[in-house]
Amino acid sequence: MSVECHEHLDCLSDYIDGELDPTLCAEIEHHMAACGDCRIVVDTLRKTVSLYRNYGHEEVPEDAKERLYAVLKLAYRADDQEAST
């Protein structure tokens, strides 16, 4: 992904929801016309939003949450230690 790709990542949710300024929408669409990676990201995000809207929110079992948070804490600590070296 290029620098231009990263510049648009923060706006994609608003873009998909139709809440983005038309000028910025045009910029994103122009970029996606030439960038397959961004088209894939937007398509995947659209599908994810659609699935969530159609199937709602499922509660994650407490033991699964605990395991997930433990893994995320370990990954965060590893990234933090790597950044400090």
Torsion, Cα of 44, 6, 14, 65 (10° steps): 60
Classify 6 as helix, strand or coil: helix
Question: What is the per-residue pLDDT for 84?
Answer: 66
* pLDDT greater at residue 51 or residue 85: 51
Question: What is the per-residue pLDDT for 52?
Answer: 86
Residue 28: both structure tokens together: 């994103």
Q: pTM for the complete prediction?
A: 0.60
* pLDDT greater at residue 4 or residue 42: 42
Question: How far apart, in whole angstroms, are the C-alpha atoms of residue 54 and residue 71?
Answer: 29
pLDDT tens, position by position, 23-37 = 999 999 999 999 999
Question: What is the per-residue pLDDT for 85?
Answer: 61
